[in-house]
Structure 1
């Protein structure tokens, strides 16, 4: 039990109580009535003494415990430090060996990568051995602090004998702990020194690794016809066996336990994938039509097994944050073959009876040969000659092999044939490793392209068998639009696994990701460009999916007005593009807080300079949400009559009946007056004015006009047509026919038809349709007398 702050507080409280109630003198005469009052004081003294006694007992027990622990650790220190020094000595020898190999393998980044992993394992083992001894040292330091506190409290012992005994015990315990700490520190010092050196060496190698891998692939590995260099490589073969053993110790599990763990991880992953395939097969049999089941079963029993095996090997290759390179490479080989087989299985989904072997199999042997050459990497000239032999054999077999009849596969093999000539030229120039890397990259691109093409073909096959209308069609299209981009992204991202399986693949990916350019304080690398492109594709896909979903919702639910579709689609589109723009600026390194300050400063100037644009933009939003005009409405504004084709944020597009397209600013609809002929519905009332001659039977004329209107198929019977005798004109009796037409577009033709029938009916009945005229009447008794002017007088 440690002498803590609480114990010190209790002791201090006891002292205060003693001072508060001092002992009385024996000579003082105490009155009898005061004895009863002093009884509580005596009880408090007894409680204080008991508290002090328990505190001293606890300190005594704590000191005894510390002394016993120091004695026990003293007895075990020899065995513990002996085993520790033995383990550290072995690790020191292993560190010296690996460090010496790293010095001689300065030009071989593949070997240096394996040696770096070996150094990291040595460092991990050293830290593992250091943990127990460091933990014991920390425990001893805590006990030493407890002894220092107990030493300060020895003055509280009133008994001199007890004081001396406790002082002796405390001194012995403190001396034992000091000796133990010194011996443990001496034992741990070499291990700490080795760990520090190993960490420094690992950091130095990791810093130099990217440039070494760059030189490894981009520098010439030598010419196969250079005999002097051949002799140098043959002499270096003596160290190949040692290099291979170091390689195997890091690229493969080094102990039986590691092998069993790797096999257990592989088996568990493979069994889980097989269970998933079995479940998927059962679901396909229950839900898919009979014609689609054989294609799914073909995928599950062919390409899925290879992919499952590759994934399982990759899963087994990762353990405790490190990767066994050879297991990962084997997994990549199975994944590559599985991807090629999957592209063929999906392409032939509707023809499962065709052969299982993919026509793209010629891409696989050179890929495997190049991977093995880079993994083992005996010496440069052997890689150069062996890779040349592989390419020549592949070209010879390609020349004799007929091309498949399928267009995509035939095109892929032709591209692979030209690719082989390009890599052969690069190999002849002495860049065999670069040629192997280019071959892998181009093969991965061809395989990924074929797989994406097969996925598109399967998607079209699914769409052809899905319902073309109804809510099921909408949800199926929505699911396809969401899932298909993710599938494409996963397929393209899987290409990175091909790179990781090659020596230095991770560093190559890092180098490619860091490629970019800088202008002033602005920089952009490949990863930023890739993330912006992915975000753009996702934003575009989400916009298309959202628009399709909203269109399907308005067509399925009659309670949703179709006129709301465009406003919501417009806001949804602008919102997603705004989010994409902010993400792109953030990805490029712009500070959004600074951007907001700049935008605030420029808003005033922009508002003045773009006043009309902002006004039309605001007016467009108000027009869209106020629903004063909608697409399809017949609108008349500023003497222009036309049909609303589209309402944009800035302007509204009208199409006149002369087929002219007119763009009307949205502000004119809010600031001016316009007529919407079809705002409520498409019905419209028309009128026809007819003037008949004076003396005609007006009632008969009205009955004729009403009958013609009622008989016309485009005239509504509710409201009923009506005729009014409107005016006694200067030369006619004016009658006005009113009638309703179901659709505004039929109003002109209906009016023309009714006018023709009225004209024919009046002509048959001898009713004269009046027109403006003037009659001049000559009266016979009012003759114009002409007087002859008298002759002029003679002069």
Structure 2
């Protein structure tokens, strides 16, 4: 038949060689056969080539393939007229439809709604025509390939043959004739197919050109559709053409409905099947969730039941209607409008149900439900697209009714602050929309009010989802692999919530007529700052990468903190350097991604680095010095968190070693921020670099005449009895000196922890005093004896004494 591609038929043979190689082989055989026939009679006749020989099989296979090609070409030639007539009929119908649509396009060049419908019909027409042309185009491409192969084989074979072909073998002569005949038939078929297909290809080109024109015009037309003012309603002349505008609107309504809704039972059945394909699984899934007893009991006031039986049902209907509205590239806006209504209503109820989960006693109805009535009216007005002189009064009436209801509406005292503030703003938005409408911007006024409610509901949904993430984070285990997995999921979920909120706003945008074109234009719109270009999609990717990077940093840092608990041989002091390296690595990769996304080349980075080197040499020297010193401290592990250091006589504990400065907490609970360069360049005492043990000396002085051996023994006993004093190395008593008024001893001990070094020395002194008292060992103190031999003016101490004596006095210092 005509729709079969004959050149795709192949006969399998033991060997596969090209026609050109076979032709060369046959030529050699043909040249040798006459010489063999003229051999002497006395020589033995040549043996016949066995039929099972491989070359004979190849020859038979190729000959049969060529014969089959000729037969199929002849069959295709006979079927071609009927096929051409059918294709001509399809092309003629498509041509008439295209002329009608092109005329509508010319008449509606300033009406974006009509152009959208025309563009959808052109797309459907283009796909239908491509479907009709596809079989013949496939055959034509196969003929082109086979014709090229035959032509190449014939050229190579003829080039090898002698001019005198009288001595050629009969098989080769037959093959050459068949080859020439097949080539002529393929050329004829190719030419006739080209003539049949060419009108369709020309029509496809015209359709594509018209669609490109419409796609180019639509963004600007939609912008003017919403932003350009018409005559304001205070102008009397505006009302003069009201009757004519209404009549024109009524006359065009059937034509618009014919292009924006299904018109045949077959299309209606297809829409219904697509609707059920989406809605039935959503309904079943919602019923399954509604029966989960654990969730029903965990949520108060039957919130879970309303969440699954109402909100999910509305959203499911909206999604199913959206899916049903698509028909082979054509979109039925008469189905899209109710789909948007159900989606917006479902989103509004879902956001409030999620928001009220953690607020017992909240009202069952969303505070934003009364605001939905003006949105419903605005969606219908934008779909019907009446003339502005009619749209303005109708929308003004809707706003006045909404203002009247807002005054009568009761305020509920238990709604959250966001909802309360947005409800308070509603009258202002209604008045603003009314004023904009009265001055001629009716469609813009509708967009303002819808944008207000869209932002309110999206913020409500975002806050509710973030609260759910917080609750999930609080319930996650703090240890184990599940904790790490949960942290990864929560880290990724945060940017996904933002994307979901952005998606919720997109639903409102595409609800506007032309919203998808406006959204695409906004995403593709770019502006340049020097050589760097920005557009909406690129900025969205950068923001998403930022949140993902931040989440990965948080998850990785948490994993490294918990790593010593799982790997006991892992040095805890390595956590901080690894966290720092991991954090800077991820942010460096994010920075490179941003530069690549903005189109900044590495050559420009080299130039920037050269400029920074000059800046570093002058103004940034201190900052870079601290930065490099921080890297030395972190990776050289000179200082670690928890080390006790001495900074010029001030002792404290290292709390954090960052890139710029090190945080030190003194024993007086003061925090000192020390630049890293000072720690690297100046002298630094680290008391805990090797271990936490510390040596303490307790000085003791006893009176002259005390038993030195007894003192030594008592001091050692006191030191060994204390629980914080180490036995290895053990305590040592040193006879230090003969003091002015005491025998000086030093008790040298090693304490197991520097944090208790001072308290341990104090305990030892208290215990030494007690033990010395029990053993009558006197702890000396400085004394001064004063002897007075004579002094004038002193009275006798005893009455009647004639000879004064030399008194003595002793004092204590």
TM over 0.5: yes
Cα deviation, residue 53, structure 1 = 8.7
Distance 1:233 1:472 in 2: 69
* Change beyond 3 A, Cα 1:157–1:224: farther
The 3-state SS of whatever aligns with 1:494 is helix
2:675 equivalent to 1:675: no
Distance 1:760 1:742 in 2: 24
1:352-398 Cα offsets, whole Å, 9 max, x none, are: 88764322212222222212211221322222222111111111111
Alignment of 1:691-710 (within 5 A): 691-702=701-712, 705=715
Alignment of 1:12-51 (within 5 A): 12-15=27-30, 17-18=32-33, 23-25=38-40, 35=43, 42-43=46-47
Q: Which residue of 2 aligns with 1:9?
A: 24
Q: Which residue of 2 aligns with 1:401?
A: 409
Q: Which residue of 2 aligns with 1:132?
A: 135
1:286-317 Cα offsets, whole Å, 9 max, x none, are: 68975679544442222122222222223333
Q: Which residue of 2 aligns with 1:369?
A: 377
Distance 1:241 1:176 in 2: 60
Q: Which residue of 1 aligns with 2:313?
A: 305
1:507-558 Cα offsets, whole Å, 9 max, x none, are: 2113333455433333333443343333333333333333334334556776
Are the aligned partners of 2:693 and 2:752 in contact in 1 as well (CA < 8 Å)? yes
1:260-288 Cα offsets, whole Å, 9 max, x none, are: 33333332222333444455456x54689
* Change beyond 3 A, Cα 1:157–1:352: farther
Distance 1:462 1:50 in 2: 78
Are the aligned partners of 2:724 and 2:752 in contact in 1 as well (CA < 8 Å)? yes
1:627-651 Cα offsets, whole Å, 9 max, x none, are: 4432222112554432212212244
The 3-state SS of whatever aligns with 1:348 is helix
From 268, 277, 280, the counterpart of 1:271 = 280
Alignment of 1:116-515 (within 5 A): 116-139=119-142, 141=144, 184-226=193-235, 228-232=237-241, 234-237=243-246, 240=249, 243-278=252-287, 280=289, 285=293, 290=298, 295-350=303-358, 356-405=364-413, 406-407=415-416, 408-462=418-472, 476=486, 479-515=489-525
Are the aligned partners of 2:303 and 2:357 in contact in 1 as well (CA < 8 Å)? yes
Q: Which residue of 2 aligns with 1:76?
A: 79
2:97 equivalent to 1:94: yes
Q: Which residue of 2 aligns with 1:789?
A: none
* Change beyond 3 A, Cα 1:276–1:560: farther
Gaps of 5+ in 1: 781-795
Q: Which residue of 2 aligns with 1:790?
A: none
Distance 2:738 2:628 in 1: 52
Matched pairs, number:
766
Distance 2:475 2:168 in 1: 100
Distance 1:62 1:647 in 2: 82
Are the aligned partners of 2:31 and 2:168 in contact in 1 as well (CA < 8 Å)? no
TM-score by length of 1: 0.83
Distance 1:57 1:633 in 2: 93
* Change beyond 3 A, Cα 1:624–1:161: closer
Distance 1:352 1:655 in 2: 45
Distance 1:421 1:214 in 2: 24
Are the aligned partners of 1:349 and 1:458 in contact in 2 as well (CA < 8 Å)? no
Alignment of 1:588-607 (within 5 A): 588-591=598-601, 593-598=602-607, 601=610
TM-score by length of 2: 0.81
Cα deviation, residue 652, structure 1 = 2.5
2:636 equivalent to 1:633: no
* Change beyond 3 A, Cα 1:370–1:52: same
Cα deviation, residue 571, structure 1 = 1.6
* Change beyond 3 A, Cα 1:745–1:175: closer
Q: Bigger shift: 525-534 or 48-57?
A: 48-57
1:83-131 Cα offsets, whole Å, 9 max, x none, are: 2222222222211111111111122111111111112222222222222
Cα deviation, residue 707, structure 1 = 6.0
Distance 1:384 1:668 in 2: 73
Gaps of 5+ in 2: 1-9, 12-17, 791-813
Are the aligned partners of 1:343 and 1:450 in contact in 2 as well (CA < 8 Å)? yes
Are the aligned partners of 1:686 and 1:738 in contact in 2 as well (CA < 8 Å)? yes
Are the aligned partners of 2:31 and 2:167 in contact in 1 as well (CA < 8 Å)? no
Cα deviation, residue 175, structure 1 = 7.1
The 3-state SS of whatever aligns with 2:528 is strand
Q: Which residue of 1 aligns with 2:793?
A: none
1:403-457 Cα offsets, whole Å, 9 max, x none, are: 2321332222122332222222211121111112222222111001111222233
Q: Which residue of 2 aligns with 1:786?
A: none
